[in-house]
Structure 1
Amino acid sequence: MAEHTLAVNIVTPDGIVFTRDGVKLAVIHTISGAIGVMANHQPIVSALKIDAIKVTFADSDDEFIAVNGGFAEFSNNTLTVVAESAETAKAIDVQRAESAKHRAEQHISHANEVHDPNELARAEVALARAVNRIKIVTRK
């Protein structure tokens, strides 16, 4: 690994989703806001929102990974993300994500009709996950 780069590892209960060295910048979305992490950044541990992680390389295109919650830890020039689930753009099935979005919108509508705050909360999380996955694939 070069002196001014870092390693990024994204893992879920199902295994490693993304692992790369030579990263110039990783942008993560914590519950407190976005953080850009570069080599030699101060150590951090933070909870993550449902959002994309942007990984920038010196010699290739940026990569985006859809991450659904979890936490990030950075130390010794390694960013480790442990997430409930995560997918690279190549792994996302857009039709499946669109269907999940549609189902979540229906559940939100139903939860509002019957005034069920628990169903509404679950449906809002499902919608955020589906929209995040769609955003990763359609990002330019």
Structure 2
Amino acid sequence: MKNHIKLTMITPEKEFYSGDVVVLNSQSDEGVFGILANHIPMISQLKPTVTTFTQVDGKELKAFTSTGVLRVLKGQVEMLCSACEWPEDIDAQRANEAKKRAEKRLNDDSQEINLKRAEGAVLRSIMRLKTKN
């Protein structure tokens, strides 16, 4: 039996990451999960979070992953995400500003807002900042 899985992370713009990993940790609507070699097949809807994984050489990596879908099948994991970013590519100032704007929309009773969209914007900003730090 193999002790690793093939991970592919794809955004609408590009293939963000492709390589063999021994463990993947992320988050779905159902909670935090980990994937190891020989995992059962599954499909899950992803939440914005800090996704971590360990390559076969032992190097640990982390990235911000936004909403999307994850599929595990026959030793392969595919993550199709709206956005993926390495910590060094995250603009902390921009993320903080986006968080403040979304929080302001949530707290402003005079505006008719899309609550789910505003909450999503806050969560994405928080997870970007968490990835950066």
The answer to whether TM tops 0.5 is yes
The CA deviation at 1:59 is: 3.3
Which residue matches 2:9? 10
1:135 aligns with 2:133: no
Partners in 2 of 1:99 and 1:61 — Cα distance? 32
Q: Secondary structure at the match of 2:77?
A: strand
Partners in 2 of 1:93 and 1:36 — Cα distance? 28
1:40 aligns with 2:35: no
Deviations along 1:14-52, one digit per CA (max 9) or x if unpaired, are: 11112222x110012111122211111111111111212
The one-letter amino acid of 1:6's match is I
- Identify the match of residue 110 of structure 2 among 109, 114, 124: 114
Paired residues of 1:26 and 1:53 also in contact (CA < 8 A): yes
Paired residues of 1:66 and 1:87 also in contact (CA < 8 A): yes
Q: Secondary structure at the match of 2:2?
A: coil
1:73-88 to structure 2, matched below 5 A, reads: 73-88=71-86
Equivalenced residue count is 133
Unaligned runs of 5+ in 2: none
Aligned sequence identity (%)? 27
Which residue matches 2:90? 92
Unaligned runs of 5+ in 1: none
1:29 aligns with 2:27: yes
Which residue matches 1:101? 99
Partners in 2 of 1:64 and 1:6 — Cα distance? 17
Paired residues of 1:101 and 1:127 also in contact (CA < 8 A): yes
- RMSD after superposition: 1.8
Which residue matches 1:54? 52
Partners in 1 of 2:97 and 2:58 — Cα distance? 32
TM, length-normalised to structure 2: 0.90
The one-letter amino acid of 1:63's match is L
TM, length-normalised to structure 1: 0.85
Deviations along 1:30-80, one digit per CA (max 9) or x if unpaired, are: 111222111111111111112121102353342112111111001121110
The CA deviation at 1:104 is: 1.3
